[in-house]
Structure 1
Amino acid sequence: MMKLERSGFFRRRVVEPVLQLLRMGATPQRLAWSIAMGVVIGINPLLGSTTVLALAFASVFRLNVVASQLGNHLVYPLELLLLPVFLRVGIAVFHSPGLPLEREALFHAVKRHPWDTTRLLWRWEWHALIVWLVFAVVVAPLLQMVLRPVLEHMLAKLHAEPTMEK
Structure 2
Amino acid sequence: MKPTAYTFESMKKRAAAWLLEGISPQRLALTLALGFVLGCIPLVGVPTGLCVVLAVVFRLNLPAIQAANYAAMPFQLALIVPFARLGGKLAPATHAALDFSALAQSPMQLMHASSSVAAQLGVMAGQALLAWLLLAIPVVGLLTLTLTQVLRRVPAVAEAKARGLLS
Q: TM-score, length-normalised on structure 2?
A: 0.80
Q: Which runs of 4+ in 1 moved over 2 A?
A: 96-100, 104-112, 155-158
What is the aligned-residue RMSD (CA, Å)?
2.6
Residue ranges of structure 2 left out of the alignment (5+ in a row): 1-5, 161-167
The reply on whether 1:9 has 2:38 as its aligned counterpart is no
Given candidates 57, 74, 79, the residue that maps to 2:76 is: 79
Identity of aligned residues (%): 31
Which residue number corresponds to residue 119 of structure 1? Answer: 119
After TM superposition, give the deviation of residue 42 of structure 1 in Å. 0.4
Report which stretch shifted further, 19-28 or 57-66: 57-66
> 1:42 is aligned with what amino acid?
G
Does the 8 A contact of 2:16 with 2:157 survive in 1? no
> 1:120 is aligned with what amino acid?
Q
CA distance in 2, matches of 1:106, 1:48: 29
Give SS of 1:113's match.
helix
Equivalent residues in 2 for 1:63-142, closer than 5 Å: 63-96=60-93, 97=95, 100=98, 107=103, 111=110, 112-142=112-142
CA distance in 1, matches of 2:102, 2:74: 24
Which residue number corresponds to residue 25 of structure 1? Answer: 22
Report which stretch shifted further, 57-66 or 42-51: 57-66
Give SS of 1:25's match.
coil
Distance 1:107 1:87, change over 3 A: farther
Does the 8 A contact of 2:84 with 2:124 survive in 1? yes
Q: Deviations over 1:118-157 (max 9, x none)?
A: 1111111111111101110110011000000111111566
How many residues were matched structurally?
A: 151
Residue ranges of structure 1 left out of the alignment (5+ in a row): 1-7, 161-166
Q: TM-score, length-normalised on structure 1?
A: 0.80
After TM superposition, give the deviation of residue 105 of structure 1 in Å. 5.5
CA distance in 2, matches of 1:66, 1:44: 19
